[in-house]
Amino acid sequence: MPPRGSKKAVAAAPRQTLVLDNGGYSIKAGLVSTQASTPPSYDDCTVHPNCIARSVRDKRTYTSSELDKCVDFGELAFRRPVEKGFIVNWEAERAIWEHEFMGGEGLRCNPKEANLLLMEKPNCPKELQKNCDEIVFEQFEFAAYYRCVGPTLNAYHPYDPTETSLSALPQECLLIIDTSYSDTTILPLYQGQLIQSAVRRLAVGGKLLTNYLKELSSLRHYNMMEETYLLNEIKEAVSFVAPSTQAFIKDLDRTWKGRLGDKRELDSTIVVDYVLPDYERSVHGYARPHDPVKSKMRRGLQPLQGPREDLLPLGNERFAVPELIFNPTDIGIKEVGLPQAIMESLANLPEALRIGMLANIVVVGGNSVIPGFMERLEFELRPLVPAGYILGLKKAEDPIRHTWLGAARFASQPELLKNVLVEKAEYDERGSGWLVRKFGGDLK
Amino acid sequence: MPHVELLPNSTSTAAPGWTYVVDTGYDPSKVAINPKDRKRTAARPGGARGENELSARQQTAIARRIAELDRDNDPKQSISVPGKLAAPKTQNARRILQYQRQIKHWLDDEEAQLSQQQQAPIPRATARGSIATAGPRRQSTMASIPPTPSEATPAPPTFAVPAPPKVQGSSMSQEDALLSTASAMPPPLDPAELQALLSAPSLSYAASHVGPPAPGGPPQRQFCDNCGYWGKIKCLRCGARVCGMECKDAHEATRCLKWT
Ligand SMILES: [Zn+2]
Ligand SMILES: [Zn+2]
């Protein structure tokens, strides 16, 4: 239900807002109206790859969602406009936005008649923010615009999913763990406002995990350094997080080949063979339990006639790769693991807030989908939380699109939107330096 | 087919330069079962710690490898934007659309700017009591720039509030600090403190990274560079670890000295 009594104030701003969660791997996007009869839902959000890909095989270039049409991901090279979570290359980002949101297909948004709500990562360098604002108003010419740290808008989700009224929002205390492609960030929110000095970042994100798996597979089996797409697919298919350090140690033992003269049987409840796609008959691969006989028949030993298979055996890679989120030092990254990082962030807050934050932790981002992630986080976090404190930890219903939906709920309420939007005329008058300070909370 | 090549996985020439690491007590499996054991190991003078120390060359090698794993774009690949795009509408837009800089350059600029600001005299009113000046933050290997002595001078805060205690270099961990206050009821929120917290500016990118594990904690786990099992043997040439003789051969044939 749209709130009443604010018609006059919003008359100037367009009713439609393009809500963009512009991630390093994918863009979550949708048009949100302040006059819709129902609140926004996940159905209003589409997810597009935030990249331009080039195939040396078919010599084609794929912009964002055109990748849906790709049938040969072999040696596919990617150009990503977002680096470490921030928009760095506007030439490519512009091409993707125009293709997805302003072209003949897709969202068909006319920027001159729409607001833009653009979400960014925390701790963005100011020069990049300035570039962003200038492109939004000077190149795209959006009618009005708001840029903010995306996960903060998660405070606009109803705490109780059955509760449809948005009146009690934002939530008082909320601790967002955003474990995404670029990195993992910890964001304490009070009344929907980010406590900037307590935001902490762990360098480990989905990109690093995929690249690590690519490195390990290339070292141990085949040179797959050009197969980023495939290794990402394999990572998503086989990864799991060991439920505890003890379980990690056990699993490591069960997947060890043994010594010369003392060979061990690999535990096929953990070790899998990934059947690689050949990009002729199959576009995607799949995993199945390890079969020592079949895996010995490497390329060249298989019959030339009939179906051939290329197998990638995966043992400790399945759990040693996502383990980096909990033990970054395993590859020499000098950072504490996620549970300790959460406590480091909270150490910057007064005790009353710490209690509130620990009771209201919500995890978003793609890495939280890895089986075992939440269990391990809870297992390691609990002993760090003082006795008598409540630990409330949950994974968002849809970790990829949760932040977008929070933002969409915010954007559907005209009186909230009106407080934050800056119109193009005001930008033209005051300039981008002013706007960076305004969105940074340095004015007023 | 994806592009895959078989790799050589062993070699018959055994180069010198290997040593068994004398096991001075760090056995990861034992540490996990009996956590008390690790304290003794760490406290023992001249214990396992020396074996875990890295040379400057090894540290550079690790930092390079991590930077490689964390990279978003391959600078060797240039993919041009397909199709024809309309001309930039303003001078600003033209300049920004032409940038071919990487994130590294922007972060370096940010750090350079911050250290310049710090060298400039700080107005008295803002020098004290700002919550954002939360003391020096340790850098992770991910930061592209040496640590800055403190955060940027923030906008003048409306309220003067003592910075929250940040335990550093002391034996008391932050978790212990939390525990010690658990029995008492938390003091109510001080509105001035809250206001200062909420108005504190953001940290720089480099300063936002979490710190390294506290000294005195369990030592870094060491894995076989080839197969990923525990790394008990150390390569004297490059410092990598392997699990046994078989993986030692493979390491020498493939990765030894790759990152140096
Ligand atoms: Zn090994
Ligand atoms: Zn070596």
Domain boundary among A283, A300, A323: A323
- DSSP structural state of residue A151: G
Do B4 and A441 lie within an 8 Å CB cutoff?
no
Asked whether residue B34 is domain-assigned, the answer is no
State in Å: Cα B88 to ligand 1 middle: 55
Asked whether residue B102 is domain-assigned, the answer is yes
CA–chain centroid gap for A38, Å, is 27
- DSSP structural state of residue B172: S
pLDDT value at position B125? 46
Overall domain count for chain B: 1
Asked whether residue A411 is domain-assigned, the answer is yes
With beta carbons less than 8 A apart as the criterion, state whether A119 and A22 touch: yes
| A-proximal residues of B, 196-235, CB under 8 Å | 197-205, 207-213, 220-221, 223, 226-230
pLDDT value at position A1? 44
Higher local confidence (pLDDT), A293 or B142: A293
Asked whether residue B236 is domain-assigned, the answer is yes
Q: Characterize the bridge pairing of strands A82-83 and A86-87.
A: antiparallel
pLDDT value at position B128? 39
Asked whether residue B7 is domain-assigned, the answer is no
Q: Characterize the bridge pairing of strands A262-263 and A258-259.
A: antiparallel
With beta carbons less than 8 A apart as the criterion, state whether A358 and A385 touch: yes
Quick one: A315 and A424 in the same domain?
no
State in Å: Cα A304 to ligand 1 middle: 33
Do A278 and B96 lie within an 8 Å CB cutoff?
no
* Minimum mean pLDDT range among A265-269, A379-383, B140-144, B194-198: B140-144
Asked whether residue B121 is domain-assigned, the answer is yes
Asked whether residue A309 is domain-assigned, the answer is yes
What number of CA atoms fall less than 13 Å from residue B197's CA on the CB side? Answer: 23
Long-range Cβ contact pairs of B133-139 (< 8 A, separation 24 or more): B133/B163, B134/A197, B134/A348, B134/B163, B134/B164, B134/B166, B135/B163, B135/B166, B135/B168, B136/B168, B137/B203, B137/B207, B137/B209, B137/B211, B138/B168, B138/B211, B138/B212, B139/B206, B139/B209
Asked whether residue A112 is domain-assigned, the answer is yes
Q: Is B12 on the interface with A (CB under 8 A)?
A: no
pLDDT value at position B142? 52
Checking if the pLDDT of B159 tops 50, the result is no
Do A207 and B85 lie within an 8 Å CB cutoff?
no
Q: Please, what is the Cα angle at A252 between A249 and A254, to 5 degrees?
A: 110
| Residue A31, φ and ψ in degrees, nearest 5 | -95, 130
Do A77 and B77 lie within an 8 Å CB cutoff?
yes
Q: Is B93 on the interface with A (CB under 8 A)?
A: yes
pLDDT value at position A28? 98
Residues of chain A with pLDDT under 70: 1-13, 159-168, 297-306, 444
C-alpha distance from B17 to closest chain A C-alpha (Å): 21
pLDDT value at position B238? 86
Using alpha carbons, select from A47, A71, A77, A52 the residue that is nearest to residue A62: A52
Quick one: A313 and A248 in the same domain?
yes
Q: Please, what is the Cα angle at B173 between B171 and B179, to 5 degrees?
A: 125
Asked whether residue B19 is domain-assigned, the answer is no
Q: What residues are paired with A395 via a beta bridge?
A: A363
With beta carbons less than 8 A apart as the criterion, state whether A424 and A137 touch: yes
Domain boundary among A323, A358, A384: A323
Asked whether residue A3 is domain-assigned, the answer is no
Looking up tokens 């119109």 gives A423
Give the span between the Cα atoms of A354 and B190, in whole angstroms: 14
Asked whether residue A394 is domain-assigned, the answer is no
Quick one: A95 and A153 in the same domain?
yes
Q: Using omega within 30 degrees of 0 as the cis cutoff, is the peptide bond preceding A170 cis?
A: yes
Give the span between the Cα atoms of A96 and A100, in whole angstroms: 6
Using alpha carbons, select from A32, A48, A52, A29 the residue that is nearest to residue A40: A32
Q: Is B150 on the interface with A (CB under 8 A)?
A: no
Domain boundary among A302, A323, A344: A323
C-alpha distance from A143 to closest chain B C-alpha (Å): 16
Enclosing domain of residue B104: 56-255
Q: Is B22 on the interface with A (CB under 8 A)?
A: no
Predicted-complex ipTM score: 0.92
| Residue A73, φ and ψ in degrees, nearest 5 | -90, 10
With beta carbons less than 8 A apart as the criterion, state whether A257 and A312 touch: no
Asked whether residue A304 is domain-assigned, the answer is yes
Q: Which residues of B touch A386 (CB under 8 A)?
A: 178-179, 181-182
List pLDDT tens digits, range B13-41.
333 344 444 333 344 444 333 334 333 33
The closest CB to that of A249, out of B29, B65, B70, belongs to B29
pLDDT value at position A167? 54
**What is the helix (H) or strand (E) element at residue A190, kind and residue range?**
strand A184-190
Do A340 and B89 lie within an 8 Å CB cutoff?
no
**pTM for this prediction:** 0.84
C-alpha distance from A37 to closest chain B C-alpha (Å): 35
Checking if the pLDDT of B156 tops 70, the result is no
Quick one: A23 and A149 in the same domain?
yes
Overall domain count for chain A: 2
Do B141 and A387 lie within an 8 Å CB cutoff?
no
Quick one: A147 and A58 in the same domain?
yes
pLDDT value at position A180? 98
List pLDDT tens digits, range A381-431.
999 999 989 999 999 999 999 999 999 999 999 999 999 999 999 999 999
CA–chain centroid gap for B255, Å, is 23
The closest CB to that of B5, out of A52, A131, A222, belongs to A222
The closest CB to that of A200, out of B32, B200, B208, belongs to B208
Do B226 and A220 lie within an 8 Å CB cutoff?
yes
Structure tokens at B103: 């994130």
Give the span between the Cα atoms of B222 and B49, in whole angstroms: 12
Q: What is the CATH number of the domain that holds A78?
A: 3.30.420.40
Using alpha carbons, select from B222, B218, B253, B215 the residue that is nearest to residue B239: B222
List pLDDT tens digits, range B201-225.
999 999 999 999 999 988 999 999 9
With beta carbons less than 8 A apart as the criterion, state whether A296 and B172 touch: no
Q: Which residue of B has its CA nearest to A319?
A: B228
| Interface size between A and B, measured as CB pairs under 8 A | 317
Asked whether residue A65 is domain-assigned, the answer is yes
Enclosing domain of residue A136: 16-159+399-440
Mean residue pLDDT of chain B comes to 69
